[in-house]
Amino acid sequence: MSQLYLTFDAVQNQLEQRRRYITAPKLHLFTNILSCAGCGTGIWYRSNRRGYICGNYARHGKKACTAHTI
């Protein structure tokens, strides 16, 4: 049974070392306040696009909605 505890502790140590410390995302004024005209989900800000995009499209791609952007 001590081998089980050693394995558990080793895995916990690895998880702690591999954890990424990501800062909290910046809140943008219109995120989830605006809604997509096609599907009705909230529109999210995307910094790589420098604008807002349909949240459903951002999560699931073309099968969920078209790329409605602002």
Cα distance between the two ends of the chain: 58
Nearest to 39 by CA among 21, 15, 57, 20: 57
Burial of 4 (0-12, 13-18, 19+ CB in 10 A): exposed
Write out the two tokens for 38: 């096609």
pLDDT recorded at residue 5 = 73
Q: Is it the case that residue 1 has pLDDT exceeding 60?
A: no
* Residue 44 clears pLDDT 70, i.e. is over it: yes
Domain residue extents for the chain: 25-70
pTM of the model: 0.55
Res 24 pLDDT > 80 = no
Residue 36 near residue 26 (C-beta atoms within 8 A): no
What residues does 43 pair with on adjacent strands? Answer: 54
